[in-house]
Structure 1
Amino acid sequence: MPSLIAARPAQAILLSSLSLLLSACATSGAKLDTTASAILPDATIAYTLAGHGKPAVVFQSGLGDGKDVWAGVLPDAAKHYTVLAYDRPGYGASPKTTAPRDPCTVAEQQHQLLAKLGLKPPYVLVGNSLGGLYQYVYAKLYPQEVAGLVLLDPTHPDHWRRMQSDAPASAMAMKTKRTVMFNATETAEFDAQAQCLERIDMRTPPRSPAMLLVRGKFSIDEMGSYETMVHAQENDWLRLSGAPRVEPVTGAGAAIQKDNPVIVNEAIKTVLKQK
């Protein structure tokens, strides 16, 4: 994602890395080859399927990211499990869709994709940032299909509302970023992040074991009211997910899978031991 005009340094600093919602709008590093595409009723999904064995581990990226952000995690995971990473519609090699972009629709599309590919449940679901919220919703909609959850700095269901009330300067900068930087898909997902959640019973956690990994560092512009809000939401994720504790990853930012892929693979192994 391009930087804002340098002539406005204060605004540029605020807009650089504000949201838990954004794992990384621009990705770098090794690319994953697209091996195939699956045609679903309301979307065409490009995906990478690798490895062997059970369970299948399904990776879901954050806002603005395709499957390439898992490049550091997949090679080791594929030595032990079947792994699936894919581009949601509008990202990477997947064309845009006119289907709604709320968390329930995203989870339902993932359900259709897994069935299309013949991958049998239960699955370990791994999600970063907004993708963590999507995987949580999947686990609530299809509890019998989930063997474990690995949530990496996940977006809280109440994230955007709380940002507007508790961290208004950060919210204002995020609104500017949405207007100036987001493409149509990112805008649709951002605007729909809390839609459909009234369908989800969030009073009890999913039945499957969960790991909650969170960033260990915040940028200067995120410190203060925004960081305080995020830490409060991290603690509430313990209630939502049933994870035993919050696990800060030292030195990692919001994109934990890029900063420390080893710990992501260890978390997958840990949730499977808890089955």
Structure 2
Amino acid sequence: MPSKIKAAALVALCCTVTGAGLAGCDDDTAADWDPFASDTPKASADPFSGTKKIDVAGRSVNVSCSGALAIGKPVVVLLHGGGDGLDKMAAFQKTLSKTNRVCSYDRLGAGASDKPDGPQSFATTGKILTGVLDRVAGDRPVVLAGHSMGGLIAARYAPDHQNRVKGLVLMDATPPTIAEDITKAIPKSATGQAAQLRTQNLAIFQGNNPEKLVMTDGEVRPAGRIPVEVIKHGKPYLAAVPKYGPRLEQAWTAGQRKWLALSSRSRLTTAAKSGHYIYVEQPDAAVQAVQRVTSQAER
């Protein structure tokens, strides 16, 4: 398999990885959950524009905001994929900010934010997201738009924060059962590049990633009747993985369908001209999805 194809598969399955958010149903999440880190909105939003470091639970978090706050309109918050940072989404943010207030941030271990002190769980990652929302949105509703691992984070977070999260856009989001999907698609008996892909991903799920995030599969829990747009890639690049590629593509598509259980107002579309980075390769599809969700969230 050409190195570029192999790298793309790793991005989708690793850097894209099973990200994190508040799974709620997992044992480690329950153990880490802080009942005092509630979702109660914190007064007014900080109207700053540009990039700045903010303090969240004693940690420095790099945040970027643009666009004007408007009465009745939600704040759009972008969540980058694993291995990326907010800079990757800069052009996407700039386009969206023409009509919306848009913010993005580097998670701990990513970009210019502090590194985590130790292993992170879905709950601790969710606490940082809550702190960021308190600062950039205050008591305003938010729409979370996440790519890859960021999509998983958003989807796991929303069910526990229904009074704040009023819409979701999941751009080729990591499936909720990605670890199980990979072990089924690529058996332990696999050899060569497929075996390497399997081993690397399973290690990443166990916390061997820049964010030190220990990731576990989980069921999809409902997030109310919020509008949800799920967008999957149309270019079947995962199929290029020797022997097991078609299985990976099927598992990824099935995983995207699972996210529809988030809401009775969910819909799945395909970005026919895009690989994994939909907001880069087919930005119009991503922009239009965010605009549709924000419009519905205003009602």
TM-score (norm 1): 0.80
For residue 17 of structure 1, give the secondary structure of its aligned residue in structure 2.
helix
1:133 and 2:152 are equivalent in the alignment: yes
Q: Distance in 1 between matches of 2:138 and 2:172?
A: 26
CA-atom RMSD in angstroms? 2.9
Structure 1 gaps of 5+ residues are 1-9, 26-32
**Residues 101, 241 of structure 1: CA spacing in aligned structure 2 closer, same or farther, 3 A cutoff?**
farther
1:38 and 2:29 are equivalent in the alignment: no
1:255 and 2:277 are equivalent in the alignment: yes
Q: Deviations over 1:81-101 (max 9, x none)?
A: 111111111211112011542
Q: Distance in 2 between matches of 1:15 and 1:34?
A: 36
Q: Distance in 1 between matches of 2:53 and 2:9?
A: 33
Q: Which one of the candidate residues 261, 268, 273 is aligned to 1:246?
A: 268
Q: Which one of the candidate residues 137, 143, 159 is aligned to 1:124?
A: 143
Q: Distance in 2 between matches of 1:166 and 1:252?
A: 23
> Does structure 1 retain, via aligned residues, the 8 Å contact 2:78–2:146?
yes
State the partner residue of 1:93: 112
Task: Report the alpha carbon displacement of residue 202 of structure 1 after superposing the two structures with TM.
Answer: 3.2
> Does structure 2 retain, via aligned residues, the 8 Å contact 1:143–1:207?
no
AA aligned opposite 2:197: A
State the partner residue of 1:3: none
1:226 and 2:248 are equivalent in the alignment: yes
Q: Percent identity?
A: 26
Q: Deviations over 1:20-73 (max 9, x none)?
A: 344679xxxxxxx96210111152101111111231100001110100121221
State the partner residue of 1:207: 225
Structure 2 gaps of 5+ residues are 18-48
1:264 and 2:255 are equivalent in the alignment: no
1:115 and 2:134 are equivalent in the alignment: yes
What are the within-5 Å matches in structure 2 for residues 5-154 of structure 1?
A: 10=1, 12=3, 15-19=6-10, 20-22=12-14, 35-53=51-69, 54-98=73-117, 100-117=119-136, 119-154=138-173
For residue 9 of structure 2, give the secondary structure of its aligned residue in structure 1.
coil
AA aligned opposite 1:210: V
**Residues 242, 193 of structure 1: CA spacing in aligned structure 2 closer, same or farther, 3 A cutoff?**
farther
> Does structure 2 retain, via aligned residues, the 8 Å contact 1:213–1:249?
yes
> Does structure 2 retain, via aligned residues, the 8 Å contact 1:15–1:174?
no
Q: Distance in 2 between matches of 1:155 and 1:242?
A: 20
**Residues 179, 134 of structure 1: CA spacing in aligned structure 2 closer, same or farther, 3 A cutoff?**
closer
AA aligned opposite 2:268: V
AA aligned opposite 2:157: Y
Task: Report the alpha carbon displacement of residue 242 of structure 1 after superposing the two structures with TM.
Answer: 4.1
Task: Report the alpha carbon displacement of residue 16 of structure 1 after superposing the two structures with TM.
Answer: 2.0
**Residues 229, 142 of structure 1: CA spacing in aligned structure 2 closer, same or farther, 3 A cutoff?**
same
AA aligned opposite 1:218: P
Task: Report the alpha carbon displacement of residue 79 of structure 1 after superposing the two structures with TM.
Answer: 1.5
Task: Report the alpha carbon displacement of residue 110 of structure 1 after superposing the two structures with TM.
Answer: 0.8
For residue 292 of structure 2, give the secondary structure of its aligned residue in structure 1.
helix
> Does structure 1 retain, via aligned residues, the 8 Å contact 2:220–2:262?
yes
Query: Aligned pairs, how many?
Result: 252
